[in-house]
Structure 1
Amino acid sequence: MSTVTDYNGMKVNSGSTNEAGQLVENQVPEEQPPQFDVRVSTDNMAAYLRIKPAYSGQKITYDDVSAALTQQGITYGICEEQISLFCREGKFYSEMICAKGIRPVDGTDGFLEYFFDRNVEFKPKERDDGTVDFRDLGIVKNVKKDDVLCKITPPQDGTDGTDVFGNVVPFMAGRFPTMPTGSNTVVSEDGLVLTAGVDGCIEHTKSTVSVSEVFYVRGDVDSASGNINAIGSVVVQGDVREGFSVKAGKDISIRGMAEGALIEAEGNISISNGMNGMGKGTLKAGGNIIGKYFENVILISENDIYADILMNCTATAGGSIVLKGRKASLIGGSYQAGQRIVVKNIGAPSYTTTSVSLQSKQLSDVLTVGKDENSVEKLEQKRIQAQNELEAFQKKFTEITAQANLIGHSDSGRENLMMKAALMKKIQLNEAVKAIEANIQKTKETQSQLFDYKIVGSSIIYTGTKIVIGPFTMNINNDYSNTKFHAGPDGIVSAPVLPSDLP
């Protein structure tokens, strides 16, 4: 029989009796476990430990702590060294981190890379020599079809984490940017690249990138806009001021007027109110030039020039110069067209020197046809000679045929060869006559085209006008009324204007 006494946190067996009934003292401790207070952070990424020993000096080991943490389900990121040190130092009433999870590494966001300057603060362009061109502000951002506008770099994956309970904590994926698709743009099959669908200029906002085939200047072309150089068409809603330039890969349309500027287009140029070039303004068009009034301007068009008045200009048109309107006048200056000049008035009552000319390769070819050995007269002589030879041989051919018929089917190889040779000769002479006749017809048709190359003054061509057509020159010493001029075989010929001569 024994009794148990609580002694300073230990339960001690105070005594037992032997067979004689005597009390025998025997101290056998029964160890009481310490109290483990474990606190876990709200995100389960850290565990904190505080230990309350059952009695002073109680020995607590790493294994005791590990068992307690396992009982709590904390199995990952155990801080072994820190726990061991904590147990050795015995600072049990202070709190320590006993387990650490690994936080997930979130994925990085995808991003857009632009292949053009998005800056809207236009600055003067610096030249190679270090000087600054204050008229070149780079306002137009040109792009060709299939050029890359922007590209998406996709989000990068992150890394999963693990909490102190051993659970996987997934990373947060990065955001995929939105492709800024606009008009006339093309998205690649993988959705990562945006390219231009047409030649044009870039227009962009915060959320879209577009390509426009027409660049609009909302006001004047001046120091605020700088020079304009577009791969597509250009529409200027105001004027083009002196000293500035507008260049376009297609058409140029100016709603106002132009001053002493340089305007170049691979297509047409249209100026609503015309241009005062101030002696230096220049228009160059791969198509037509159209305007109301041009003064002191250099005009170069590969096709036609249409206007109401051209005054003191230097104009060259690959096609025609046609003036319409109430005045339709060429006054002073020099004007050259490839085919026609059609106006009401050329020159002025004050005998202002005005030169009009027709020059082109086609005109030269027409004037060359029928000259010397290829003239209609020479060809007619050749045709008569060839016809006479044919008629003379025809008589001989008849005699050969008759002789062959008399011989009949007799075995004469010589006569057969003669018959074949005569027949071949007759065919050759016939072909020669036909070829000369065809050449005569072609020459006449070509020469008739000279009437298409003409200078028409449906009202008055004033004294002082100089007319040049191909190699021929004619100075007007008297006023002509309702007269057209074209080249003849030996010089310039005049004739009355017919309705068919007017556009």
Structure 2
Amino acid sequence: MKRNAFFQLVQKQDGVYLKSYPALEGGAPLSVDDILYYLEQKKIMDVSVDDITSFVQKASETVNAEKRIMIGKILPENEFPVVTIDPERKFAKIRLYPPSSGGKRLSFKELLERIGQNGVQYGILKENAALLLKAHLYCTDVLIAKAKPPVQGRDAKITYHFDVDKTCHPAMDESGNVDFHHLDMIEHVREGQHLATLAPADTGISGIDVMGEEFKPKKVVQRILKHGRNIHLSEDGLEMYSDVSGNVTLVDETVFVSNQYEVPADVGASTGDIDYDGSVVVKGNVLTGYAIKATGDIIVNGVVEGAKLATAGKIVLKRGIQGKGQASLEAGGDVISNFIESASVECGGRVITDAIMHSHVTAEDDIIARGKRGMITGGALKTKTRIEAKTIGSTMGTTTVLEVGIDPKLVERYHLLEKDAEQLALERESLVQNVLLLKKRLDTQGKLDEEKLASMKRAGLRIKEIDAALKDNEAERAGLSEEIRKKDSGRIVAENIVYPGVKMTISSVSTNINSEVQHSAFVRDGADIRIRAI
């Protein structure tokens, strides 16, 4: 059994001696500090450190070395236990010093009492205490008590079911070309979408330290699901859901959902194109070449350049649109803009602006140019109801086309059918020529190979399909033409003046303005367009 070297005080006629006993099985040698500590505890102070050092050196060279350390006599010392408790009270150790010559040994019961007197009340290892006495394990630290450790808990954990760290890095194709239009800045969310899950903290289970007191587990981090508006939690507070469709962000462990996406500056290379399920508010401008697509309203505080805006809601441009011939606006609702220049506009509601210049505008409801200028010049405007402005056309005779009283969708469908009929007729003519050529060869040669016979058969079937399609096309065009002809609603109003160069169509009746007309409204009256004073 492993045992450290130890020492004993021996009383002789000529004084007090230290006697050494060797270590066993690799135990530690004697220590000067250990001897000095023992002598200090026993109030034996008149001892030279040099004598102790000399004794330890001699003990390392001689078995059962002896060294006188003082002259005179001392009272016998009994076995002396020293109990040390870990600062965290997880364990306790005991170090037993031998009795001096004439001193007494401790009984097992006495040793346990001493251990208790030193504050150790729980987890005492009695078998170690018994072994300590039986094996004379002096000057050796022996584990005498162990705490019951606590069961450590677990911090609360939140799992977010959305991307909390958008990269805002532009996409790159296989050739290494960077696409600044697709920056992936918005984390979209749907109504009812699961946003986060909270795994509550587990506080753990307390243990008992060697002094018999509660051994608390380490503190755990408590967390809750924090959120803003448009979000609700489950009854137990452990699940988070979105109440609306929009975008979701995480700021300082708080989840925010908004059905309005706000761009703090320009829409351009720093944002890429915007595609959002909700409303979009742009604090700056929308630069040329970029696009905004939304399901709610689009509001731009700045200017729209040659960009594309499309939404199921309305479009509001507070400083207007300078489209450069590249811009397009598509709205399910109204389009309200300070001005519209060199742009294409389609809306399911009204168009309200101060000026429309060189633009193509189609609306389901009124097109109104009001304000300081109240001007419409150049381009083409179409609506089922009314076009109203202060000034229409220009002194330069700029061609300006206005159509009212006809559903633009009907006209668009009619023109599409005309184009389809033309293409079908051309295809039919080509097929007929091929069939005639093959028949001529058949008459001349008396036969055709299988491939040409199959080709002639396919052409014949296709001609029949085209004939049926042309018949349907003609019938639909006739119906649309009649519907357009019967329309007699619609009104064009010029509060100040209409200049030459303006062409007006009300329902199916058209007229060209060849001289200035002031303060007038234009309406259809049978097969004519009448001018009425306002």
For the pair 1:147 / 2:188, whether they are aligned, the reply is no
For the pair 1:297 / 2:333, whether they are aligned, the reply is no
Q: Does 353-362 or 268-277 show the bigger shift?
A: 353-362
Q: Does 73-82 or 301-310 show the bigger shift?
A: 73-82
Match of 1:47 in 2: 92
For the pair 1:102 / 2:139, whether they are aligned, the reply is no
Identity %: 28
Q: TM-score, normalised by structure 1?
A: 0.66
Match of 2:523 in 1: 486
**Inter-CA distance 90–312: structure 2 relative to 1 (3 Å threshold):** same
Paired residue type of 1:494: R
**Inter-CA distance 362–114: structure 2 relative to 1 (3 Å threshold):** same
For the pair 1:473 / 2:473, whether they are aligned, the reply is no
Tell me, what secondary structure is at the counterpart of 1:223? Answer: coil
| Contact kept? 1:450, 1:487, Cα under 8 Å | no
Matches for 1:70-469 after TM superposition, within 5 Å? 76-79=122-125, 90-119=136-165, 122-125=168-171, 132-164=178-210, 167-358=213-404, 360=406, 452-469=489-506
Length, aligned pairs only: 387
Match of 1:495 in 2: 531
Separation (CA, whole Å) in 2 of partners of 1:128 and 1:480 = 61
| Contact kept? 2:167, 2:184, Cα under 8 Å | no
Offset of 1:34 from its aligned partner?
Answer: 4.4
| Contact kept? 1:184, 1:212, Cα under 8 Å | yes
Tell me, what secondary structure is at the counterpart of 1:135? Answer: coil
**Inter-CA distance 458–74: structure 2 relative to 1 (3 Å threshold):** closer
Q: TM-score, normalised by structure 2?
A: 0.62
| Contact kept? 1:363, 1:450, Cα under 8 Å | no
| Contact kept? 1:337, 1:359, Cα under 8 Å | yes
Offset of 1:335 from its aligned partner?
Answer: 1.0
Separation (CA, whole Å) in 2 of partners of 1:199 and 1:128 = 33
Separation (CA, whole Å) in 2 of partners of 1:129 and 1:106 = 54
| Contact kept? 2:311, 2:332, Cα under 8 Å | yes
Instruction: Report Cα offsets for 1:125-156 as digits up to 9, x if no partner.
Output: 45699864213323333333333333322112
Paired residue type of 1:293: F
Separation (CA, whole Å) in 2 of partners of 1:363 and 1:103 = 80
**Inter-CA distance 71–219: structure 2 relative to 1 (3 Å threshold):** closer
Tell me, what secondary structure is at the counterpart of 1:496? Answer: strand
What stretches of structure 2 of length at least 5 have no aligned partner?
1-9, 12-76, 411-485
Instruction: Report Cα offsets for 1:212-239 as digits up to 9, x if no partner.
Output: 3433322222222333333332222222
**Inter-CA distance 273–45: structure 2 relative to 1 (3 Å threshold):** closer
| Contact kept? 1:485, 1:492, Cα under 8 Å | no
| Contact kept? 1:487, 1:493, Cα under 8 Å | yes
Offset of 1:158 from its aligned partner?
Answer: 2.0
Instruction: Report Cα offsets for 1:432-476 as digits up to 9, x if no partner.
Output: xxxxxxxxxxxxxxxxx9675222233333333322233333344
Separation (CA, whole Å) in 2 of partners of 1:341 and 1:265 = 23
Separation (CA, whole Å) in 2 of partners of 1:495 and 1:117 = 63
Match of 1:397 in 2: none
**Inter-CA distance 40–326: structure 2 relative to 1 (3 Å threshold):** closer
**Inter-CA distance 123–168: structure 2 relative to 1 (3 Å threshold):** same
Instruction: Report Cα offsets for 1:285-323 as digits up to 9, x if no partner.
Output: 111111122111011111011112211111110111111
Tell me, what secondary structure is at the counterpart of 1:171? Answer: coil
**Inter-CA distance 70–220: structure 2 relative to 1 (3 Å threshold):** closer
Paired residue type of 1:50: R
Q: Does 281-290 or 195-204 show the bigger shift?
A: 195-204
What stretches of structure 1 of length at least 5 have no aligned partner?
1-7, 10-31, 365-448, 499-503
Following TM superposition, where does structure 1 have runs of at least 4 consecutive aligned residues deviating by more than 6 angstroms?
55-68, 70-73, 127-130
Separation (CA, whole Å) in 2 of partners of 1:458 and 1:54 = 124
Tell me, what secondary structure is at the counterpart of 2:181? Answer: coil
Paired residue type of 1:144: R
